[in-house]
Amino acid sequence: MTMKTECSDAIHEYIDTNCQINAALTGEHKEYVTMVLQLMRDTYAAQVANGDTTFIVPEDISAVIIDMRPW
């Protein structure tokens, strides 16, 4: 499994595809979805730059995402 796939899987642990589609089409929970996507992309980019080979969601980021979950 590639890091990109691991990152995508991690995103889906917090926001499933339907939630992402709803945010794009109707704006429902758009701020939360955008925040999760941006945090994951930034984390992915930092880990790739560090030469990591496995994507890991840091505990502090996971805690923020869970605490801010609107559902």
Residue 35: closest CA among 48, 50, 20, 25: 20
pLDDT value at position 26?
97
Residue-averaged pLDDT of the chain: 97
CB 60 within 8 A of CB 45: no
pLDDT value at position 58?
98
Give pLDDT tens digits for 15-32: 999 999 999 999 999 999
Give pLDDT tens digits for 40-66: 999 999 999 999 999 999 999 999 999
Q: What is the pTM of this model?
A: 0.92
pLDDT value at position 5?
97
Break the chain into its structural domains and give their ranges. 3-67
Q: What gap in Å lies between CA 57 and CA 1, rounded to an integer?
A: 16
